[in-house]
């Protein structure tokens, strides 16, 4: 087997995984996508073991199933999720206090933490993308 010049690292795996999740692929597909490129992903045996163990973990979690819906404009997200039994959206935002900037910052952090948790949970992320009818882009969706 060919040996790549660059070692695989967890940040690299995370970046790849994130990218595939945004394309609405299931974690199983992600594993296949990474595996196909494995010759370019590791340089020694220990790296390979780590990488394979991590992928098995993702697959195991994926078995739990469920869909998390994200997209621009909450109306779209709420209504899209209502048509998918068992789906989940960001509907647990706390009531933050402070100045407008502080509240925005806290919401952004909460949103970021939430989407990372959803991605790590193994649930399928359904991205209904941008709202074509919206004139101002959502900063929260851009972050997601």
Partner 1 sequence: MIDGNKYIEIVRIYFHFLITEFGFKVSEEIINGNFFYRLRYINKIKAVTISYENIEDYLSVFISILQNGELPDYDDKTKTLHLNRINAQILSRIDKNEISLNNEYFDKFNPKDELERKLLKSAKELRLCLKHYDEILV
Residues 62-81 that bind partner 1 (CB under 8 A): 73-76, 78-80
Supply the minimum distance, in Å, between the C-beta of residue 13 and partner 1. 32
- The footprint of partner 1 on this chain (CB under 8 A) covers a number of residues equal to 27
**Of 39, 60, 82, 116, the one binding partner 1 by CB under 8 A:** 82
Does 94 interact with partner 1 (rule: CB under 8 A)?
A: yes
Instruction: Give the x/- contact pattern for partner 1 in 118-137, rule: CB under 8 A.
Output: -------------xxxx-x-
| 92 binds partner 1 per the rule CB under 8 A | yes
In terms of CB distance, is 56 or 112 closer to partner 1? 112
Nearest to 128 by CA among 65, 64, 84, 91: 84
Closest separation between CB of residue 91 and partner 1, Å? Answer: 5
85 binds partner 1 (CB under 8 A): no
For the CA atoms of 128, 130, 132, 137, what is the dihedral angle to 10 degrees? 150
Q: Decide: is 143 part of the binding site for partner 1 (CB under 8 A).
A: no
């Amino acid at each position: 087997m060919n040996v790549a010049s660059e070692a695989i690292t967890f940040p690299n795996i995370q970046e790849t995984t994130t990218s595939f999740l945004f394309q609405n692929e299931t974690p199983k597909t992600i594993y296949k996508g990474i595996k196909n490129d494995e010759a370019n992903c590791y340089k020694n045996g220990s790296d390979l073991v780590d990488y394979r163990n991590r992928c098995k973990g993702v697959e195991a979690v994926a078995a739990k199933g469920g869909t998390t819906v994200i997209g621009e404009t909450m109306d779209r997200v709420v209504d899209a999720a209502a048509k998918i039994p068992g789906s989940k959206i960001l509907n647990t935002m706390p009531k933050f206090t402070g100045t407008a900037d502080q509240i925005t910052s806290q919401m952004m952090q909460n949103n970021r933490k939430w989407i990372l948790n959803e991605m790590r949970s193994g649930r399928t992320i359904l991205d209904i993308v941008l709202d074509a009818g919206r004139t101002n882009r959502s900063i929260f969706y851009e972050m997601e």
